[in-house]
A and B are shown apart, each in its own frame.
Chain A
Amino acid sequence: MNVFPKWTNRLRELFGLGAGIAGVYVVVFVAYGASPQTLNVGYAPEQPVPFSHAMHAGELGLDCRYCHNTVEKTARAAIPPTETCMNCHARIRTQSDLLAPLFASWTTGEPMHWKRVHDLPDYVYFDHSAHVTRGVACVTCHGRVDTMERVRQEQPLSMGWCLDCHRDAAPNVRPPELVTSMEWTPDRPAAEVGAELMRARYLKPSTDCSTCHR
């Protein structure tokens, strides 16, 4: 006895196809869709003051460490306080409307509410000083900040991305005095230079769970 019309037989194939596609979809979704490469790269929030890294770090040539002054000593690369800005802006562009929030902060003592661009999960331990003093450059993880009008996230900062470098760090290791240079390129293959530096300084990046998840 047939309950359903004959064309419903074709639903069987469609269902099989759908189930197959669903399986592939889940895997692709987890691998790519849910990756920070898709979700986070390109994040460039508007800041309370349209601070231009392209002008300050690029045109004017300020060293990264002038503002992010703790980067060589501590885990965090400090976001500069209003006072750092006022070193110059106490005299420069003092009437600018764009800088009004900065002057307000200076007068009231209320810190600027900069929006964080590069934000790792709380369960990840990351130490800027450990990387910078061993010759991993700012540009490696943050990109060409000296050309960015507004800072955006260039790299995925995913766990797999961290591991890629921890497993093969040599191409990303340079002489530590050159870490803030945005344009330095080695005259020999980078991996060769890095490997020599790593040998000389006994650099052995760890891939243990507890290195980053403490």
Chain B
Amino acid sequence: MTVSDTSRLVLDEPYARPILVDGARDLASITDRVCGVVERPTPPRAWYVAITITSCLTLMLFAMVGYLIATGVGVWGNNSPAFWGWDIVNFVFWVGIAHAGTLISAILFLLRQKWRTSINRAAEAMTLFAVCCAGLYPAVHVGRVWVAYWLFPVPNQMQMWPNFRSPLLWDVFAVSTYATVSLLFWYMGLLPDLATLRDRATSGLKRGLYGFFALGWCGSARHWQRFERAYLILAALATPLVLSVHSVVSFDFAVSQVPGWHTTIFPPYFVAGAIFSGFGMVVTTMVPARELFGLKELITLRHLENMNKVILATGSIVGLAYATEFFIAWYGGNPYERFVFLNRALGPYWWAYWLMIFCNVVAPQFLWIKKIRTNLLFMFVISIFVNIGMWLERFVIVVTSLTRDYIPSSWGYFKPTAVDVCTFVGTIGLFLTLFLLFCRFLPMVAIAEVKTILPAAHGHGAHGKHGGEGRPGREVSHG
């Protein structure tokens, strides 16, 4: 065993406080490092290149949405028999991605997984941006957007109410609750860091803006006491949402009677898939972002490896779910069910199915190998596969079932239009634009929370004998 191997063993011992961030010797250096990203006069050149591209895509999205509103939903490829097309595929895709943030911030918080502190801020932000992209689809797919308020139970002259027995209505509540709680959670966690930025601001405008949103945070003991308590309460509230939101989304399908949709496995299978895709997207965005903004010491390889482990675990659950569906289709003896699954694998959409299997089931298995799951290039490529695979999963579920249902005379083949494609590409642009703006104007890492995991916070570190070393990584005993 080499020296570095033994030190890692020591790090992973449960009774020792593991060192979760590298290179940061004291509390002030954390603040400097994270605030530095926001405070540097100009962002890196790559940031300009990226935001130019993504904002063009966002403008294309706005153009497509405007065209859709002016013309009608006929500009999409949805038509008999596939009345649901890319709109619902993309909706489920983005809602799924939105699941990583809350999982990291709420469930890992309750489970005391301290490593979450470096990535929870960015992951929560991604949750919000993904919900924005997802929410766009239900809003515009109604065709007449000016009556989209019909989705909500508001008393009106028509005496018309949403159908409370419809999972589509449950969806409205599930997603809007999720968006609200995620926003509150994210914003509340931001308060101390916004106050830090306010206090360090050099211009009056910045001080005013950060000060406004910091809501007068002054870091008193009373503030912290209430903050910690509120954080815990919100974490407890958000935890069931991680499981419930995508369960409800899966009800959109499972409550119907379409073969291939009408299965009880959908809720757990969708939730696992959502976390899988969410972590995929977090890895996809964090690998370049930590490089670009020089946060490699805060968002360490260990964080990425941990996320890869989650991807591996949830990807395996998803693979198991695919296998279970096939088993039940055979074992259940329902000829329609059996046909649907054979058709998925061997029918006209075989290419989508097998690509999905490769991306979602085969590709993540490489993460069993430590060399691969700690290699930036490999994990980036695999996370891209995960994103593609999870999009294809929703496509396969929606389209194969709708285009080959009970009546062969009404079978068809779904083809997206150019507007479909441009709208989807546009939402990717919107997501990345919001993320780039977030990276530039808000602290990407939760400064206050990361400080709590530093050795310095535990009475060691900066002033101890390890303070001068490059890696404060040898502390075994504590107190």
From known contacts A9-B216, A30-B149, infer whether A3 and B158 are also in contact, taking CB-CB under 8 Å: no
Q: Are the C-beta atoms of B156 and A31 separated by less than 8 Å?
A: yes
Q: A190 at the A/B interface (Cβ < 8 Å)?
A: no
Does B291 have its Cβ within 8 Å of any Cβ on chain A? no
B208 and A160: CB pair below 8 A? no
Comparing A33-41, A98-106, A197-205, the segment that makes contact with chain B is A33-41
Evaluate whether A37 and B157 lie within 8 angstroms (CB atoms) in the complex, with A3-B208, A4-B211, A30-B149 already known. yes
* SS of B interface (majority): loop
- Contact assessment for B216 and A2 in the assembled complex, using a CB-CB cutoff below 8 Å: yes
| A158, CB-defined interface residue at 8 Å | yes
| Contact yes or no, B154 A1, CB < 8 A | no
- Measured CB to CB, the closest approach of chain B to A179, in angstroms, equals 26
Report yes or no: A156 in contact with B154, Cβ–Cβ below 8 A: no
Given A160-B157, A160-B159, also A4-B216 (CB < 8 A):
yes
Of chain B, the residue at the smallest CB distance from A161 is B157
* Most chain B CB within a 10 A radius of its CB, from A1, A4, A12: A1
Say whether B207 faces chain A, with CB atoms less than 8 Å apart.
Answer: yes
Decide if B160 is an interface residue (CB 8 Å cutoff).
yes
Q: Does A78 count as interface, using CB distance less than 8 angstroms?
A: no
Known: A3-B198, A3-B207, A4-B211. A36 touches B216 (CB 8 A): no
Within 8 Å CB of B198, what residues of A?
1, 3
Q: Does A62 contact B (CB under 8 A)?
A: no
Give chain B interface residues in 256-304, CB to chain A under 8 Å.
Answer: none
> How many residues on the B side are at the interface (Cβ–Cβ under 8 A)?
17
Expressed in whole angstroms, the Cα–Cα distance for A3 and B208 within the complex equals: 7
**If A1-B198, A3-B207, A3-B211 touch, does A30 touch B156 (CB 8 Å cutoff)?**
yes
Interface status of B32 (Cβ within 8 A of chain A)? no
The answer to whether A159 and B216 have CB atoms under 8 Å apart is no
Determine how close the nearest CB of chain B comes to the CB of A40; give it in whole angstroms: 10
Distance in Å from the Cβ of B197 to the closest Cβ of chain A?
Answer: 11
A27 within 8 A of B: yes
- Interface positions of A from 145 to 195, Cβ below 8 Å from B: 156, 158-161, 163-164
Question: How far apart sit A37 and B156, CA to CA, in the bound complex (Å)?
Answer: 11
Is A26 at the interface (CB under 8 A from chain B)?
Answer: yes
* A35 CA / B198 CA spacing, docked (Å): 48
Q: For the A-B complex with A31-B155, A35-B156 known, give 19 more contacts whose Cβ atoms are closer than 8 Å.
A: A1-B199, A3-B198, A3-B208, A3-B212, A4-B216, A9-B216, A26-B154, A30-B149, A30-B154, A31-B156, A31-B157, A34-B156, A156-B157, A158-B158, A159-B159, A159-B160, A160-B157, A163-B159, A164-B159
State the 10 A-B residue pairs at the shortest beta-carbon distance, nearest first: A3-B211, A160-B159, A35-B157, A159-B158, A158-B157, A31-B155, A30-B154, A1-B199, A160-B157, A163-B159
Contacts A/B (CB < 8 Å), 26 sampled: A1-B198, A1-B199, A2-B216, A2-B218, A3-B198, A3-B207, A3-B208, A3-B211, A3-B212, A4-B211, A9-B216, A12-B215, A26-B154, A27-B154, A27-B155, A30-B149, A31-B155, A31-B156, A34-B156, A35-B156, A37-B157, A156-B157, A158-B157, A158-B158, A160-B157, A160-B158
